[in-house]
Structure 1
Amino acid sequence: MKNISFGLSVLRPVRFLIVVFTCALLIFSNAFPAAAIGTKQSSPQKATDQLLETQKETDKATAKPPLGLEETTRKANEGLNEVQGAADLNKMNRPENSQSAVSAEDKVESFLEKITGKK
């Protein structure tokens, strides 16, 4: 019994450090969520222009009666959907532009291979 109580008393500082580390992690993750985005920023004017153009198209679409099937299909084929069109189409990930992307499964598999030394 003495060995068990001695072992538990030795773990108290470690347990305290784990609690302190976890609290610090929670505080920093709540305080700096935007740090995950990175430092690359686009031009605010360009983004505003794109939003205004999308808003104009939305206003036009809502002022008219609902589109028919043929017109909806035609407009949807021009871009992402009938309102947004092709705005930011090149910035979005699609199968056509993501051929060199590595899946999460492949990343984990290669990480585990590095750890275990198997290839």
Structure 2
Amino acid sequence: MKIIASVLSILHPVRFLVVAFTCALLFLSSAFPAFAIDSYQSDPTEATTQLLETQRETDEVAKSPPPGLKEVQKKSNEGLNEVQGAADIDKQKRPSNSQSSTSVEENVKNFLEKVTGK
């Protein structure tokens, strides 16, 4: 019992530091999202055309009978899939445009090399 009491008495000054650090962390984490306002601001009409085209196609499909297998395959081969088509194909990651990227394993290995100095 005396050992526990002595350990707690030693940690008493550290408790203040832990509380102060936690308060600072909470304050900073609530303040930093405000910096996101400087990031990319999209134009409100930027995606309107694309969405209207998707809505038009959706309305057409809803009014017609279910498409056959050949029609679905033909539509799917036009882009990424039947629904998306080729929308934002240049923004999506896939093997053909990700050859220069590093894997998680490589990132960890590089980080450990930096930390250890090897």
Match of 1:12 in 2: 12
- Once the two structures are TM-superposed, the CA of residue 21 in structure 1 deviates from its matched residue by 3.5
Equivalent residue number for residue 93 of structure 1:
93
Cα offset for 1:61? 1.8
Report if the CA contact (8 A) 1:61-1:83 is conserved.
no
Residue 28 of structure 1 deviates from its aligned partner by 5.7
User: Is the contact made by 1:75 and 1:82 (CA closer than 8 Å) also made in structure 2?
Assistant: yes
- Of residues 15-24 and 82-91 in structure 1, the stretch that sits farther from structure 2 once superposed is 15-24
Shift of 1:107: 0.9
Q: CA RMSD in A?
A: 3.1
Distance in 2 separating the partners of 1:37 and 1:82? 35
- Counterpart of 1:50? 50
Give identity over the alignment, percent.
63
The runs of 5 or more residues in structure 1 that have no matched partner are: none
- CA distance in 1 between counterparts of 2:37 and 2:94 reads 20
Q: TM-score, normalised by structure 1?
A: 0.74
In structure 2, list runs of 5 or more residues that go unmatched.
none
